[in-house]
Structure 1
Amino acid sequence: MKLYNLKERSQSVNFDEAIKMGLGRDQGLFFPEKIPRLTNMDELLRMPVFERNVIIHRALIGDALTDEQLNAVVEKTYDTPVKLRPLDDKKGAAYCLELFHGPTLAFKDFGAKYMANCLSQISNQISKESSSNNKITILTATSGDTGAAVAQAFYGLENIDVVVLFPKGKISELQQKMFTTLGENIRTVAIDGAFDDCQKLVKQCFDDAKLVQSLGLNSANSINISRLYAQVCYYFDAIGQLSETERENVVVAVPSGNFGNLTAGIIAKCLGLPIKRFIAATNANDTVPRYLETGQWQPNETVETLSNAMDVSQPNNWPRIEYLVTSGQFDADLLNGVSVTESQTAEAMKQMQQQGYISEPHAAVAYHGLNQSLVEGETGLFLGTAHPAKFKSSVEDILSIELPLPAEIDAVKDKADLSVSMKADIDALKTYLLR
């Protein structure tokens, strides 16, 4: 299946090329011209998770991987559960889709593992066929969870180096320790600036053809199509866990920062998954909700919030959603946006606590958005994207509780931080990368 550069439609690549390149010319995103439609949806939703995910990925990537390769990738990627946790809601049934039961306790484990496993299969195949150097450097920016997921997924892999950029002092200490303490083939850089500055540096590096060639440069942000494809599957998993009656009117609220998660959900709907509509729930960085209301794309300066992994004012994945709308594959009326304040985020966390459920700020943003929109007879899903312990201090302050640390975090909390600090300067970054 061909993937096209949304900025330069003349550039088309196969899935294996897109996953290795990350970005196309002129920083363009790769995306299929048309999302295929899956048939026999009821039967698909009754299938075991492994079989269903193989079918979904085969539809999305064509023959880029052999059956043996694809089976291995799916088996290694989806080895942690996706859980639905019911909450009482006055308007309709509400569930939290818990996506944080992987090694770094965040939904991005799925995308990072899928990309790492795909690249490993592709790299091994190339190595068998050629004696040339096949070194890859993964350069990625993180506002929190991506860094840990990517670092863990690629840690120790041969012929792959990883460099993670993150905004200095703007993510939680425990989030940071999950990826800045590894060493070996993982390097981490604290950038003086916001996440958008980190993202800009990544894009500037990809504009340097010589740098891309010399380092085998790639990106593991959700700008890489493989990250999105991995996330499509857990929307099917969620709907498959609902009763047939509940599936008829499902509303999904997605906590949105760089908009990869929402893009994956919309791809799932285009594949035929029965989702009635979506809610794009952001924090104060509300570029998309304002755009949906006014039609004007006017990013403001990024502000810091409790839901810091969503502190993004210029979401990279929005052009993919825009394309699905303009190409007639997705109805824009099925998406509405809501911006959630800090006080509303805290109040949503308290509301969930009253129902016996401890959550964190990002899921709380989505929960608030769902509550503002859900009507009687609808089934609401909101995405739980990270374990509350990753935001231990804010959760404890807001809910007046003491939160125990999971083993995954407890193991790194006292380790030395190996990151280096750097100004948001492209020349300094290039020098560092080439060392």
Structure 2
Amino acid sequence: MRYVSTRAASADASEPFSDILLEGLAPDGGLYLPVTYPRVDAQTLTRWRAVLAEQGYAALAAEVIGLYIDDIGHDDLLELCRRAYTAEKFGDPQIVPVTRIGDEPLWLGHLSNGPTAAFKDMAMQLLGEFFEYELRRRSSWLTIVGATSGDTGSSAEYAMRGRDGLSVVMLTPAGRMTPFQQAQMFGLQDPNIINVAVDGVFDTCQDLVKALNADAEFKHRWHVGAVNSINWARLVAQVVYYFACWLRVTTSADEQISFAVPTGNFGNVCAGHIARSMGLPIKRLIVATNENDVLDEFFHTGRYRVRGAVETVATSSPSMDISKASNFERFIADLFGRDGATVRRLFDQLARTGEFDISGTAQFTAVIQQYGFVSGHSSHADRLATIKRLWTTDQILIDPHTADGVHVAEQFAGDEQIVVLETALPVKFADTIKEATGELPPVPPRFAHIGEGPRRVIEMGDDLGALKKLVADTVGTLRA
């Protein structure tokens, strides 16, 4: 299996998995995709149903991800998956249990039982194993520079802390995370973890990370890699739980279900798009946004219009307070048949004008008819009402992002089963839970003292030069 940039003119200059794992962003500014998506048939799905039931989630992960990797042996890959997905880390031997919401045809895919109580752990725990494995194989080191709106950063840091050859510089939007999220990240004292609070919004942080990656000389000198979902390895790890949820809800190899996915950066639902492209019987991919409804606007109109920092609203589902969905480029590349020149033109236009419009094109018609996308958005009032109703009627407590997913899913509920992908445990958003239910959410024992102890964080403006100096100074010291 080889990989090519979304902006490449052809697949001739493709690369193997182990190389793009460490690169993150492609040199031309695009994102890596496999040259083709492997297809699975009914026989394979039937076999995987037995694998999941008899051998567990880690074995299924090795089967699915193994289709995308030919430079790591199956035995090694299986061992990496087994180390990443343990009952001890995820609190349940199923790793991703699925439960029904009351009597509705709605289900919750529980993705948030990992070390940081967020679905990002599903990919990050494996990514940490991948990085350490490959760096040891090459006798090399890596500097992770990432951006987070709340959950990616803590998941990455808990997966990378203390690992040989790895340093993490994580950018966060100052004052825009919940107290729990801040405590989770800034409380880490590991010398290889560097937290940076940037004066701006998540998109400010993400733009700084992309600009740093665009400097080829600096990236090479400091071995800069990525853990954001611009890194293909993280995305392919997320594909696995779509198969796991489907296998747990269905009984036959041709049964279709839909998924409702809360998303801001388009990584979570992009993994669903990939699973569907592989042949998983997904009827619809229901995109759920909050008040920052850039993606919802696109799926209704064909116009993709990013917002600036002033227009990006601070909401009670803060991990989705994103107006520039970095993974969206992967879907556009598929939508336009991997025409790299068109993808480059559209995203160059986006960089110049802040928008592009494909309404009226055959490609936009295919968004729903061929690729199964629909969308909706949610408000603070919607979140509160959904959280309160599920708690009152079903004794199910969900976080505000998952509430966005449930609210939008119910707008599309019909005959098919819909799995809403949970994004985090309620404890991470205690203030909103209390506003909705009148009670604080339960605190898992492992987080009982999360707010105690010293914090390590560096404040910084929207300054690429300052970021480069920080990376050189801190990582240089660690590597000395």
Same fold, TM-score > 0.5, yes or no: yes
Task: Give the letter aligned to residue 292 of structure 2.
Answer: N
Task: Give the letter aligned to residue 264 of structure 1.
Answer: A
After the TM superposition, list the runs of 4 or more consecutive aligned residues in structure 1 that deviate by more than 3 angstroms.
Answer: 328-331
Distance in 1 separating the partners of 2:182 and 2:423: 16
Note if 1:55 corresponds to 2:63.
yes
Note if 1:401 corresponds to 2:403.
no
Distance in 1 separating the partners of 2:430 and 2:118: 14
Contact 2:59 2:82 in 1 (8 A): no
Between 405-414 and 279-288, report the one with greater CA deviation. Answer: 405-414
Note if 1:202 corresponds to 2:209.
yes
Q: Partner of 2:430 in structure 1? A: 392
Distance in 2 separating the partners of 1:182 and 1:332: 42
Between 72-81 and 300-309, report the one with greater CA deviation. Answer: 72-81
Deviation at 1:393, TM superposition (A): 1.4
- Which one of 401, 404, 408 corresponds to residue 365 of structure 1? 404
Q: Partner of 2:129 in structure 1? A: 117
Deviation at 1:55, TM superposition (A): 1.5
Between 94-103 and 46-55, report the one with greater CA deviation. Answer: 46-55
Deviation at 1:331, TM superposition (A): 5.1
Task: Give the letter aligned to residue 362 of structure 1.
Answer: H
Question: Quick one: structure 1 residues 29 and 104, their matched pair in 2 at CA, closer, same or farther if it must change by over 3 Å?
Answer: same
Distance in 2 separating the partners of 1:135 and 1:26: 23
Where do 1:166-245 residues align within 5 Å?
A: 166-183=172-189, 184-244=191-251
Q: Partner of 1:8 in structure 2? A: 8
Q: Partner of 1:430 in structure 2? A: 468
Note if 1:307 corresponds to 2:317.
yes
Q: Partner of 2:352 in structure 1? A: none
Contact 1:135 1:215 in 2 (8 A): no
Contact 1:45 1:236 in 2 (8 A): no
Deviation at 1:95, TM superposition (A): 0.8
Q: What is the alpha-carbon root mean square deviation over aligned residues?
A: 1.8
Distance in 2 separating the partners of 1:343 and 1:283: 11
Contact 1:143 1:195 in 2 (8 A): yes
- Which one of 37, 45, 49 corresponds to residue 49 of structure 2? 45
Q: Partner of 2:278 in structure 1? A: 271
Give per-residue Cα distances to partners, 1:26-85, cap 9 Å, x unaligned: 321001121110231222223223332211111122x12112321121112222311112
Note if 1:88 corresponds to 2:102.
yes
Note if 1:147 corresponds to 2:153.
yes
- Which one of 385, 395, 418 corresponds to residue 356 of structure 1? 395
Deviation at 1:247, TM superposition (A): 7.3
Q: Partner of 1:130 in structure 2? A: none
Distance in 1 separating the partners of 2:245 and 2:413: 18
Deviation at 1:275, TM superposition (A): 1.3
Give per-residue Cα distances to partners, 1:132-168, cap 9 Å, x unaligned: xx22100010001101110000000111110110001
Distance in 1 separating the partners of 2:214 and 2:460: 20
Q: Partner of 1:108 in structure 2? A: 120
Q: For 1:27, what is the secondary structure of its paired residue?
A: coil
Q: For 2:329, what is the secondary structure of its paired residue?
A: helix
Deviation at 1:378, TM superposition (A): 1.2
Q: For 1:357, what is the secondary structure of its paired residue?
A: coil
Deviation at 1:423, TM superposition (A): 0.6
Size of the alignment, in residue pairs?
425
Give per-residue Cα distances to partners, 1:169-212, cap 9 Å, x unaligned: 00101112112111211000000100000000000101112211
Q: For 1:276, what is the secondary structure of its paired residue?
A: strand
Give per-residue Cα distances to partners, 1:226-278, cap 9 Å, x unaligned: 11011111111111112416972411100011111101111111222121111
Deviation at 1:332, TM superposition (A): 1.9
Note if 1:297 corresponds to 2:301.
no
Task: Give the letter aligned to residue 228 of structure 1.
Answer: L
Distance in 1 separating the partners of 2:59 and 2:115: 23
Q: Partner of 1:318 in structure 2? A: 328
Contact 1:166 1:189 in 2 (8 A): yes
Distance in 1 separating the partners of 2:216 and 2:149: 26
Q: For 2:408, what is the secondary structure of its paired residue?
A: helix
Where structure 1 has 5 or more consecutive residues not aligned to the other structure, the ranges are: 128-133
Q: Partner of 1:327 in structure 2? A: 337
Distance in 2 separating the partners of 1:38 and 1:77: 24
Distance in 2 separating the partners of 1:332 and 1:294: 11
Q: For 1:171, what is the secondary structure of its paired residue?
A: coil
Distance in 2 separating the partners of 1:160 and 1:50: 24
Note if 1:248 corresponds to 2:287.
no
Between 259-268 and 348-357, report the one with greater CA deviation. Answer: 348-357
Note if 1:381 corresponds to 2:419.
yes
Identity score, percent: 31
Distance in 2 separating the partners of 1:16 and 1:246: 32
Output the TM-score relative to the length of structure 2: 0.85
Task: Give the letter aligned to residue 46 of structure 1.
Answer: A
Question: Quick one: structure 1 residues 26 and 243, their matched pair in 2 at CA, closer, same or farther if it must change by over 3 Å?
Answer: closer
Output the TM-score relative to the length of structure 1: 0.94
Distance in 1 separating the partners of 2:125 and 2:217: 28
Task: Give the letter aligned to residue 48 of structure 2.
Answer: L
Q: Partner of 2:25 in structure 1? A: 23
Q: Partner of 2:350 in structure 1? A: none
Deviation at 1:323, TM superposition (A): 2.2
Contact 2:59 2:81 in 1 (8 A): no
Question: Quick one: structure 1 residues 246 and 348, their matched pair in 2 at CA, closer, same or farther if it must change by over 3 Å?
Answer: farther
Q: Partner of 2:449 in structure 1? A: 411
Task: Give the letter aligned to residue 401 of structure 1.
Answer: E
Distance in 1 separating the partners of 2:253 and 2:223: 47
Task: Give the letter aligned to residue 8 of structure 1.
Answer: A
Q: For 1:241, what is the secondary structure of its paired residue?
A: helix
Task: Give the letter aligned to residue 319 of structure 2.
Answer: A
Distance in 2 separating the partners of 1:425 and 1:108: 27
Q: Partner of 2:77 in structure 1? A: 70
Q: For 2:305, what is the secondary structure of its paired residue?
A: coil
Deviation at 1:353, TM superposition (A): 1.1
Q: For 1:226, what is the secondary structure of its paired residue?
A: helix
